[in-house]
Chain A
Amino acid sequence: MEFPATLFPSYFSVGPPQDEGGPAPAAGWGELGQVLEAGPDHHQAETMFVPRRGRTGESWEPADAAAVPFLPPNASCWIPSLLPQDILYRSFLRRKLQTSKYGPTLDFTKQLSHFFVDHPEDAFGSLGKLLHKNFHLGDSGVKVSGFRDSTIRMTALMEEINRLDARRGCPQEHLASRLRWFSHLSRDWLFEVPLGLLADCVHEELLLQWAGLLFNDSPTGGALAWLPPEDAGTRTGRLVYPGGQAMNHLYFQDVVLEELPCTQGFPAEFELNGRIRQVAAARLDGEDFIGVRSDYHCGVWSVPGRTGAAPTPLQVIRTSMPASCLTVSPHLPGELAICTQSGSIYLWNVKTGLQRLRHDPQTMFFRDHSPWRWSGFTAHPRVLSCADRTGLECLDARAPERCHFNLFKVGEEAGCQQGERVVLPMYLGRAHPSQHLVTTQFSVYVVDERLPLVPVLKWMHMMKSPPLFAHLMPGDPGRSHKLLLGASRTQEMLLLQYEGKNWGGMSACQLVGPPQKLHSIASCLQHLPAQLPHHHHLLQKRLSTPAAGLAATLQKDGSQESLLVFQLSEAGDVFYQRLTHEAAQPPAPALRDETMAALGSSPLFEDPASSPQGLEEEEEEEEEEEQTFYFEAAALRYRHWLKALSRRCREPPRHSCPPTFGQKRLFTRKELQTPAGPSTLHSQARQQMQQAMREGGRIQHWDLPDAQAPLIPQPPEPVEGPDPLSTRLTASWSGDWSLWWEQRSSFSRAQRQRALRERRQRQKRARGRRSLSASFTSSLTYQSELSELSDAGPPPLSPVVPQEGSLARGSPPPSPAPDEALLSSQTLRSRGIPKERRKTLRDYLGVYAEGPPEPPEFLGSQASQLCIPSSQSQLSSASQTRRKHPRMGF
């Protein structure tokens, strides 16, 4: 427990933070901070200096191009996470209001109406039954004269409501008098629950949801834990993670660390009573203790160190307020610290029970509204650290009232910025017994208990969302400690290295090496084979769910060291990536990395046979072989994962009725907007198109392995003669436009017949061919028909242009989804079809596309994306409303 003989110079002042900063994009670069003399003896001839930041660190290179799935996709009928547009008021007033300082405009009427539609019995059951006879729902007028006085016709009212809905967002929107009259009349008595009360509750819940959307601190600490092997000789560790539909199953999975980490046997499974928010673990006397936190329950398990020993649950406690923290003591077996949102901190010993150390609903150093609290352990087993958003304090469990000191304060002491708040504290005991990590939304700090308030290390981490997870891998003497930071919403992960030991003694803490970004789960999307657009969308959504935890382990294989990082997503998927340590720094890997990134190609799906062999030297060949083996294995895992995912998603949800499609409104506002940014696929397609235009060649040059490639059907011949628009204009100019139209329509009829005939022939021809060309043919014919209908705009392009190298041989390449591309408003608009005519066209196409209805392939929430946009009327779009209520707490 030596204290460094000299510390880096720094100013010290007290008080609230002066620096009015904000998220600064490059704040973490370029600074060395301070310097300190390096040698223990400064009477030497030359004095050497070391910087606080920026010394060369160890080099860890990613072994693969993306994160690889580790476990099969979580078996959840996965509920998509809440999006801002789900609860924000969706009108063009929104833009104006959102920028104002009154905060977001929550669309709480929508939520209320969802409730009324989804739960009519609960909303107005009894009065509905009473008034049943007085409401007439038929189209005809009320006939029987006896009832005329006491019956009102609701159909007109319904129409009025529908019309209102269609006009949503219109500035001239005003309530129809009939509606106003009805609501005025019935507002006070119609509802089962008083409307004001209900509205208050809904509004409160919406505000909570919105706050959670902006920053959700419930997964703080992370729900993934790695239990390392008992000794370095055995290679079986254990991964503890949540899963299941509601993430309420706890799994203990044995993992063998080979070339690739593999699961061994079936995981031990426990079903819990709530969604698992956090899993914390510590090893003590050869036994692992695992604390599990859900909102109202905390439990502790123990796993004996032997491989294959079964985990045993030890104790569970229930809290009346949601718990916000659970940490396991690294000093005493069966001891944990718990915090609840009411501001209480407990020391929990499995043998002696709970001891409340503090109860204070107020924050420590200044007032902050967040009820979040955290607690951890320190170098002294009886001293606990407790934290809120304003700082950290240490208190002695034996006399919590008297003995405490401030460890970290958001203020000038630590050089904080205004608005900076503590996000995650962590005890770094495995690297140094008296050091703690504190992360805020802007910076990371390392603080030492022996020098409170003055951070021994500070660095602006530049992460886009605050780091909620951290994992420490202590380095051996002379090596750096590795620190992983993980953010939830953006899935960012950073690898930092720091050192605190040099020349045989303690030295001041230094950050070494540049920070390094690791792959996020979502980044693997670009390396996957191209998918059907809706599959792609689904996959994208699944892969970019917020992260829920991270864990890592150092693995030594002879001289080769590697770092294995696991990342858990909120959907319950576990991905991993490997980094290898390079003792000396050959420039080759960096280069490879750069070219790879520049080309955007994916080594994951590269055919090993197609990689250029001639250039390689023998020495490299071996390595290459190993690499390709690795890539192949990773690619295989991807395929399995994708297959399992699509299988799980395909299981049809049992709808009582098929989804209905309305034609009243063709496009929602959202669809008419231009997409935010073109995807890589788009840009590639565009690039290829431009190239084709330059060269005057064709766009579709399929790299088919067999020589039958030229058999691909020819693109439709362009319409001969002058362009139809000019003929039409000329005709109308000269006055015989009607004649032209007649000619034109008969011509087009003939043409359509010809096209049909051609298609039949082509189908005959293609029957023997592979499924690829078949799908291509059908989509092509479809397009050729459209090109006539749309008054001959430019011939439509196939929306999917195959990427080179991204197609795995043997697997069928993706076929474009024709209807989507055709009916999308953009396509129509790009053809210059005026808005009012698009409906006609759509109707026409709708008739045209009529066939046997396809069975719904996806979950309810996705069905609406698959089909033609349905009417926004809440009565018909049941799938959208259904998705809401579990999270609204109804």
Chain B
Amino acid sequence: SSHEHKLNFRKSKDLCLNYIQDAMLQKQWKRAAEFLTFYAEALEKDFSREYMGPSEIIWRIGTEILCHHSHSSIKEFNSFIEQMKTLGVKRYLKVCLEHVFRLLCNGLIDEAYQNLSLAESWRFGEQTAIQDKEMKLIQAYKGLLDYYSWSKQKNILLKLGQDGFEDLSIEQEMHSYFRKAAVNLKEILKIPGVWDLFLKSYVDLLEFYGDEEEARQVLNEYAYNSKFPANPNAHVYLYQFLKRHGESKKSLISALKILHDLVPSHELMIDFNTMLQKSKKRKNRRLGLEVIFAVLDYAGWKENVKAWSCLARQMKQIVISEKHLDWIKQEWNSRKDWWPAFHFSYYLAKRNWQENESLSYEKALVAGILLGKDCKYFRYVSHQGCKAQVKRFRILKKFVKKHSPDYLRISG
């Protein structure tokens, strides 16, 4: 009966698909390709109302096989994809986009651009929400490629300018690229998402043409609009922009303060700390100590000499001036039950000394101040340092011994 026939057909189809999957997962691309030719029959009698139909499966598997098969070329790949584009209307834009990605990764930028233009002009009935998103992406990537062309023309022009020539046609071409790129890039930046690539290009364009206001607005929107994800890069771009345009220390600090609240372990926090330490305001220096302590809370910074030397420098300053020892005390309070095991164990003292002498020096200074001269880390490192006749370790030992009453005030 027809029902049974359908059932059997479906069974053998699934079995065939299993074989293909198996071969692919074992990197037997030739075998998979042979099976796929059988699977193509599934297209003819497609009874399924499944989430993913055979045509999509063939597109996905075929693409994957062509990418790994030893005898395939980009030409073959192109013709395969052209066939796939005709197989499903709903998927057309997605297939186009993936095709463009593949071309871009193979360095075929011009062909990719042509494909993007073609896809952009494609219309079929009413667009679904997903298709709308895909279309926007296509336009954005087209804008990005326009931006690259613009930047190429710009470089040529700059070179010509250096040599004292001028070329109006190149300049005009460049401006037209700018217009095309700016329109498309601006469009995608309105939609919530992660658009680092597009944003950087757009800001570069705007800065070149001196539209700082627009650039600032776009960057602010990208960083502070709550509909966008909490992307640390958004704050980094804004900070870099502000720095480029010579903004006041205050606005730089406020931009970094927000980044600190979001990602206390960000690498810009070292700059932030240096900036705050230099500040004359007490509040800022207080914040600086907080920032550097927070950075060293994270496992990724555990062996970073720069961060440790920042902390050591600031703590040394505080101890010498004997002012604001309570700052250290406050910071230490929430850490004293786990920092000793996390940073200042005997094992780490040995390892740090072996692997990185200056790291162990900075850490020993901090340990000496926070935990006193009897702390395992300090004792081991200073002992080894003195034994190895390194001058700074002798000074370190003296310093910590001299300030041991301060330790009592911090820990008490």
Contacts and interface: CB of A to CB of B under 8 A. Distances in A.
Do A and B associate with each other?
A: yes
B161 interface: no
Bin chain B's interface residue count. 35 or more
Nearest to A519: B26
Given A9-B198, A35-B105, A451 B230 contact: yes
A331 B298 CA distance: 10
Contacts of B191: 11
Interface stretch (B1-9, B60-68, B401-409): B60-68
Contacts of B51: 20-22, 24
A697 interface: no
B52 A434 contact: no
A364 interface: no
A10 interface: yes
A331 B70 contact: no
A333 interface: yes
B92 interface: no
Contacts of B232: 3, 450-451
B157 to A, nearest CB: 13
A516 interface: yes
Contacts of A31: 60, 63, 98
Interface string B328-339: 000000100010
B249 interface: no
Contacts of B62: 30
A668 interface: no
A30 B98 contact: yes
Interface in A294-327: none
Interface string B293-318: 00001111100000000000000000
A382 B191 CA distance: 36
Contacts of B227: 12
A588 interface: no
B148 A47 contact: yes
Contact of A517 (B26, B105, B262): B26
B345 interface: yes
Interface stretch (B209-217, B263-271, B283-291): B263-271
Contacts of B68: 514
Contacts of B105: 32, 35, 49-51, 54-55
Contact of B26 (A9, A42, A593): A593
Contacts of B233: 3-7
A47 B112 CA distance: 13
Contacts of A35: 101, 104-105
A507 B157 CA distance: 31
B265 A450 contact: yes
A429 B30 contact: no
Interface in B63-83: 63-64, 67-68, 70
Interface in B134-155: 137, 140, 148, 151-152, 155
A670 to B, nearest CB: 21
Contact of A590 (B27, B104, B137, B265): B27
Contacts of A21: 51-52
B88 interface: no
Interface in B219-241: 227-233, 236
A674 to B, nearest CB: 14
A379 interface: yes
Given A382-B297, A514-B64, A516-B26, A3 B267 contact: yes
Nearest to B29: A590
Contacts of A12: 192-194, 227-229
B149 to A, nearest CB: 10
Interface in B148-188: 148, 151-152, 155
A6 B300 contact: no
A433 B22 contact: no
Given A332-B341, A380-B298, A597-B31, A11 B193 contact: yes
A450 B20 CA distance: 39
Nearest to A677: B15
Interface string A34-52: 1111000011011111110
A46 B105 CA distance: 12
Contacts of A46: 107, 109
Contacts of A454: 194, 229, 231
A48 B133 CA distance: 25
A533 interface: no
B390 interface: no
B47 interface: no
Nearest to B264: A380
Interface string A702-736: 00000000000000000000000000000000000
A415 B338 CA distance: 38
A51 B102 CA distance: 8
Interface string B252-266: 000000000011011
A798 to B, nearest CB: 29
A453 interface: yes
Given A37-B197, A47-B109, A517-B22, A3 B263 contact: yes
A16 interface: no
Contact of A433 (B30, B300, B341): B300
Interface in B19-68: 20-22, 24-28, 30-31, 50-52, 56-57, 59-64, 67-68
23 contacts: A2-B267, A3-B266, A3-B267, A5-B196, A8-B197, A9-B140, A9-B198, A25-B17, A26-B20, A30-B64, A42-B148, A54-B105, A332-B342, A382-B297, A433-B299, A451-B232, A494-B25, A514-B27, A593-B26, A593-B28, A594-B28, A594-B30, A597-B28
3 closest pairs, A vs B, by CB? A30-B60, A517-B25, A1-B300
Given A11-B192, A452-B229, 5 more contacts: A9-B197, A382-B297, A450-B262, A451-B232, A593-B28
